[in-house]
Amino acid sequence: MFGLRLVGLSVALAPFVGAVSPIWGQCGGIGWTGDTTCATGSVCTVMNPYYFQCLPGTSAPTPPPTSSPSTTTTGPTTTSTPGTTTSAPPPSSTGFVKVSGQKFTLNGETYPLVGANSYWVGLMGYSTANMNQAFSDIAKAGGTTVRTWGFNDVTTANGIYYQLWQNGKGTVNTGATGLANFDNVIAAAKANGIRLIVALTNNWSDYGGMDVYVSQITGTQNHDYFYTNANVIAAFKSYIQTFVTRYKDEPTILGWELANEPRCRGSTGTSSGTCTTTTITQWASNISAFIKSIDSNHLVAIGDEGFFNDPGNPSYPYQGSEGIDFNANLNITTIDFGTAHLYPESWGQTTDPVGWGSQWITDHATSGKAVNKPVILEEFGVTNDQASTYTSWYSTIISSGLTGDLIWQAGSHFSTGSTPDDGYAIYPDDPVYPIESQHAAAIKARG
């Protein structure tokens, strides 16, 4: 998704209260008023002063802290010293998610991929307690997987950023406002039993992305130089080398994505005029092979919208005009699974957006079956009639055999305010939230 509108809401969500807290659920912490008893086979464990969690095991609970923690603010840094934490270490994720035919697997069992997008979780200076709540809200709806951004390219050091560009050179920020902050994202996901899909750059100008590389290195606005200019490609590979190597042994990460929604054109609307589907397919082959050369543990996908390349088709997302050939890309040997997005109204499909979307899902499931690889609907959304639309699309996902899905986007109500709402966000008090939960159960039930 692109062109995000960040709208803060000041609605507080009452804590979830049940007879007992489930395994991976919250069971205590500063401000917690819910149940403190864990389900059989789990024990309430202190993750940090604000978040106690029911973790598998039978040992005695970790005692709570006797006082509130102090708060420190650290300014931007480009040093290589990772952040430190005084909270108890989260539980270890065991095993890396793999693929077997059209399924994801974990430790020899089917891994049900279902969940949400949360691009914002590591980019807005949220506390670790808020990160924990964000992932907990997704997990309580049955989510297993979250897609998030592993990039923020800036030209002025400010807030959370991952790469600072000055005079044509990018410097990765590994300090407390950079990758050490992403360490906290991983720890929070791990604490809630969530695996992450991490996109490494953006087609759009939100949080920097491709056009920053192009303008800094080539001095032009030709978006497609990101895929062909040797110096730009080298700079992107350098960023990948630093980011991916840092987490190559971390099983909480499910996989890497080359980019969010790569196209021949980006936010500048400008290209050299020579970009075709072949251009991006060749780039995807090159970059995915590079990632595999430094990280053999994690899966790799493109992160594209799943556009097909059928020039004669009357429907725009099938015409190949954006430079994406879904079937060709899915055949790349170093791409482990396919991705598709679904925004029919934004793509001009207004006559029957629900029916069009169901056909889109079915067509991508067919492509996955043809090459025997998983395909996921990793973004989808409408801003009207969400409950009925998503119920229909969820039904098609199950009936078509599509491997999994991630809704755009998750939302949480923090004590400090609500997370961004671009009109698509689903909060735990939204009528769609229980529909998500029912669908997650259906994904898990099919094995």
> Which residue numbers are catalytic?
261, 379
Sort 364 into a burial class: Cβ within 10 Å, 0-12 / 13-18 / 19+: buried
Cα–Cα dist 92/108, whole Å: 18
Would you state the structure tokens that stand for residue 44, as one six-digit string? 């309430």
* Strand 114-117, strand 145-149: pairing: parallel
Q: Residues 404, 406, 407, 408: what is their CA dihedral angle, to the nearest 10 degrees?
A: -150
Cα–Cα dist 365/308, whole Å: 13
Beta bridge partners of 106: 109
Residue 234, C-beta contacts closer than 8 angstroms, at least 6 positions apart: none
**SS3 label, residue 319:** strand
* Strand 42-48, strand 338-342: pairing: unpaired
**SS3 label, residue 366:** helix
Cβ contact 191:47 at 8 Å = yes
Sort 226 into a burial class: Cβ within 10 Å, 0-12 / 13-18 / 19+: buried
Cα–Cα dist 306/309, whole Å: 10
Cα–Cα dist 444/117, whole Å: 19
Beta bridge partners of 377: 340, 405
